[in-house]
Amino acid sequence: TVIGGVFNTFPYTAFAQNVGLVAITGVRSRHVATVAGVILVLPGLLPKMAAVVEGIPLAVLGGAGVALFGMVAASGVRTLAKVKF
C-alpha cells in the first residue's frame, strides 16, 4: 500500500501462510499473536536473549523450517483438494 511505501516498510497484506497455520493448529486468538510479537521484539531489546537465540544451531532452525513449511504446504494441498474444478 501507499503507507508501506511512504515509510519504506513491507506492504500491509494478509499472508496465506497464516491461514494454513490457523487450520493446522486451530488457534485463532489474537492474544497468541500478541505474545509471539513480544517474544520476537525482546531479543532486539535484550542482548543476552539475542545471544541465546543466536546459539541455536542452524541445523535445528533448518529442520524446524522444513517441518513448518511442510505442514503449511500440506494444508494448502488439502484446501485445494476440496475445490471442485
- pLDDT tens for residues 56-74? 999 999 999 998 888 878 8
Range(s) of the domain holding residue 58: 2-81
**pLDDT at residue 66, rounded to an integer:** 94
76 and 16 in contact (C-beta within 8 Å)?
yes
**pLDDT at residue 22, rounded to an integer:** 77
Q: How many C-beta atoms lie closer than 10 Å to residue 75's C-beta?
A: 18
What predicted TM-score, i.e. pTM, was given to this entire model? Answer: 0.58
**pLDDT at residue 14, rounded to an integer:** 65
For residue 27, the one-letter residue type is V
> Over the stretch 12-48, which tens digit does the pLDDT of each residue have?
666 666 776 777 788 888 898 889 889 989 999 999 9
The C-alpha atoms of residue 3 and residue 26 are separated, in whole angstroms, by 32
Query: Total domain count for the chain?
Result: 1
